[in-house]
Amino acid sequence: MPRIASARPAAEPSSPEQHDRRQRILRAAARIGSDKAFERVQMHEVAKAAGVAIGTLYRYFPSKTHLFTAVMAAQVDRFRESVRPAGPDVSPEDAVGEILVRASRELLARPMLANAMLQSSNTAGYATVADAIKIDTSFREIVLEALGIENATVQDVTLVRLMMQCWYGVLQSSLNGRASLADLEDDIRLACRLLLARRSNAPS
């Protein structure tokens, strides 16, 4: 179980040099996390690979949970920029399904890194790991946009949250070898059709 090192908030970069250091840390963590199981990743080797002092690493990321949640948040931001509107013959719920299938393929291309990111983000507390909020917010906005919902109702937000929880669970099953990639993709598409059919702008 990943450990939250302390309750103190992570420092936010405020200058171009600090932003560059933070990005180097994230890139180094992604490289190392792609080759090593989460439990074997050491913070000092991430600092060395990023060319920063260990104190600098801990200032931005007080624990591995903070670090790999931030890696996932950065990947979600990049993925969001690549999302394009679905064709007119694709239903909104199927459009969401295809988005999540593509995101799954990208994640599972590096299974050890995917496991580190999911393990971290799923155990990260909102009070101590700000990037956990960013991940949830970004995915909610991606899904609502694909559904064509501008003013989400409480039920819309609940359905999207349930959809994302289901997606995380299906991903973890695949990472654990309990579901094939084909089953994962079928499960995601079916879950989107079942859950999102009750959205506020669904046909009567």
pLDDT tens for 143-166 read 999 999 999 999 999 999 999 999
Given a cut of 80, whether residue 9 has pLDDT beyond it is: no
DSSP letter at 89 equals: T
| Helices assigned H by DSSP within the chain | 16-35, 43-50, 54-60, 64-82, 92-108, 111-123, 130-147, 154-175, 181-196
State yes or no: pLDDT of 2 exceeds 50.
Answer: no
Query: Is 103 exposed, middle or buried (CB count within 10 Å of its CB: 0-12, 13-18, 19+)?
Result: buried
Whether residue 1 contacts residue 49, with contact meaning beta carbons closer than 8 Å, is answered with no
1, burial (CB in 10 Å: exposed 0-12, middle 13-18, buried 19+): exposed
90 band by pLDDT with thresholds 50, 70 and 90? very high
Length of the chain: 204
- The CA-CA-CA angle for residues 128, 134, 135, to 5°, reads 105
Which residues neighbour 80 within 8 Å (Cβ) at sequence distance 6 or greater? 138, 141, 142
| SS3 category, 109 | coil
pLDDT at 5: 42
Per-residue model confidence (pLDDT) at position 70? 96
- pLDDT, residue 114, reads 96
Residue 1 pLDDT more than 70?
A: no
92-146 confidence digits (pLDDT tens): 999 999 999 999 999 999 999 999 999 999 888 877 788 999 999 999 999 999 9
For the cut 70, the answer to whether the pLDDT of residue 26 exceeds it is: yes
Instruction: Using the predicted structure, report yes or no on whether residue 4 has a pLDDT greater than 80.
Output: no
Using the Cα atoms of residue 148, residue 154, residue 159 and residue 160 in order, give the sign of their dihedral.
positive
- The pLDDT mean for the chain works out to 91
pLDDT the model gives residue 8: 59
